[in-house]
Structure 1
Amino acid sequence: MLNHWNEMSVLMTRYDYEYSIFQKLIELLNFYLNKHSKCLVVRFDLTFPLNYMSVAINVLISSFTQKLIQKYKRQGLDPFYIWAREQNTSDHPHYHFALLLNGHKIESFSHVFMNAQSLWASTLGVDVSGQVHYCIGEKYYKNYANGIMIEMYHDEAQAKYDAVICQLSYLAKIKDKRDYGDPWRNFGMSRLE
């Protein structure tokens, strides 16, 4: 198995993280890599249109997730997911989302963005142009990449694994996680079975 401690330790000295979420995302990634020695990880963010009705519970992200997982299951890609909910001063929450797919059966990842756009629109019942953010570029991290393929028995496996941990760590950041005794969760993920 690949070593997550080095990258995790470096990140935890630089930023404040919700440790339980950080542990869960590593647990999910390791579980998936044990199941599939080649794994594609894609990250995107979901936001709400400004004039969208008030959102108080996670029923919309649950519905979206169910549709997305069902779509990729039908394609035989064994999808796993993790999402984190954040909200600071805005009227709506936003969601950071990561999708893991069987890399033995897929090569590219642009279709994930198209599907996310279509399924988010279907879930909200409105036009969501500009509401699915592709997380491509260096806005948050230097040398940031998306659509990272980890191949367990490849020379670059540890470097790609570290890059994915860095990419996914954003879901575990403490900033903007609500903890006001709200009845909804700040994060969800696939069952590890």
Structure 2
Amino acid sequence: MQTRHISNTNLSVIKNGQYQGLNVYPKPLSAEYLSVILQTLQTAQNDHSRTFMVRFDLHLPQLNFHDSPTVYDSTVISKFFKSLNAKIQHDRLIKQREGKRVHRCTLRHIWARERADADTDHYHVAILLNNDAYNHLGDFNHSGQNLSTKIVEAWASALGLDAYSARGLVHFPRDKPVYYINKNALDYPLIFNAAFYRLSYFAKLETKHYGDRTRSFGYSRI
């Protein structure tokens, strides 16, 4: 049974840990957010049967005092994806000019903004790429022309910082930052369900902002 969220009546609340037969995070979740997450995953899979999913967090710089005015508005996450996409497409162009085989790569994403007990917001992010174009992060503890570096540099660009300053503001989970979702693999249902469960956390209703005219959840429309 679904109920309406008290602070945002446009959202339906799911509490039973299930969505369309799939396991989800055992907290009150938005059915609408779960629908979008599932749709984005399926769209990526329809575009390329082998999908590379990367999960990471983006933090805003820590403010010096509790009542500090907002330094970064809600456009910062849009600037991040715009910068990251430009870096990915430039990478494809360089490889093409070098005579290398280039696979088409559309950047799809899902994000959720939270604050919890911190003074600044942070963003939970997942990106979905063609596995034939990108299939690893690279060493995210060192600089280089790899995907993790592109993510750090894109966040630095969105914040107006240098990459060195932004490096500590990008967090890749130690347990499992990437998922290889292969539609033709025998373990596809298991991996897809695990990826969806991981992303269902983004649909969590607590710690999100409502009523301040800023978005707490977003996704790519392609």
Task: Tell me whether the two structures share a fold, i.e. TM-score over 0.5.
Answer: yes
Whole-Å Cα distance in 2 between the matches of residues 61 and 31 of structure 1? 22
Q: CA deviation at 1:88?
A: 2.9
2:170 corresponds, among 132, 135, 138, to 132
State yes or no: 1:28 paired with 2:44. Answer: no
**Which among 44, 49, 55 is matched to residue 56 of structure 2?**
44
The reply on whether 1:166 has 2:197 as its aligned counterpart is yes
Give the superposition deviation at 1:112.
2.9
Task: Name the SS for the 2:120 alignment partner.
Answer: coil
Tell me what 2:14 maps to. none
Unaligned regions of 5+ residues in structure 1, if any? Answer: 138-144
Which one-letter code corresponds to 1:132 in the other structure? Answer: V
> Which of structures 1 and 2 has the larger relative contact order (alpha carbons within 8 angstroms, sep 6+)?
1
Take 1:5 and 1:40, find their aligned partners in 2: how far apart are those partners?
Answer: 23
- SS at 1:178 equivalent: coil
Give TM-score, length-normalised by structure 2.
0.73
CA distance in structure 2 between the partners assigned to 1:92 and 1:47 by the alignment: 8
Determine the C-alpha separation between the residues in 1 that align with 2:150 and 2:200.
24
C-alpha distance in structure 1 between counterparts of 2:167 and 2:108, whole Å: 25
1-structure distance, mates of 2:214, 2:189: 35
Q: C-alpha displacement at 1:44, in angstroms?
A: 0.6
Q: In the TM superposition, what are the counterparts of 1:90-169 in structure 2 within 5 Å? A: 90-110=118-138, 111-126=146-161, 127-137=165-175, 145-169=176-200
The structure 1 segments of at least 4 consecutive aligned residues displaced by more than 6 Å after TM superposition are none
Q: How many residues align?
A: 178
Equivalent residues of 1:81, 1:100 under 8 A apart:
yes
Aligned-partner Cα distance in 2 for 1:62–1:105: 23
Structure 2 residues not aligned, in runs of 5+? 1-18, 93-103, 139-145
Partner of residue 105, structure 2: 77
Checking the alignment, whether the CA contact within 8 Å between 1:42 and 1:112 is kept in structure 2 is no
Identical pairs, percent: 29
- Structure 1 vs Structure 2 CA RMSD: 1.9
The structure where helix makes up a greater share of residues is 1
Shift of 1:150: 0.9
Q: Which of structures 1 and 2 has the bigger CA Rg?
A: 2
2:21 corresponding residue in structure 1? 6
- 1:81 deviates by 0.9
Local SS of the residue matching 1:66: helix
Instruction: Pick closer, same or farther for the CA change 1:108–1:147 going to 2, 3 Å.
Output: same
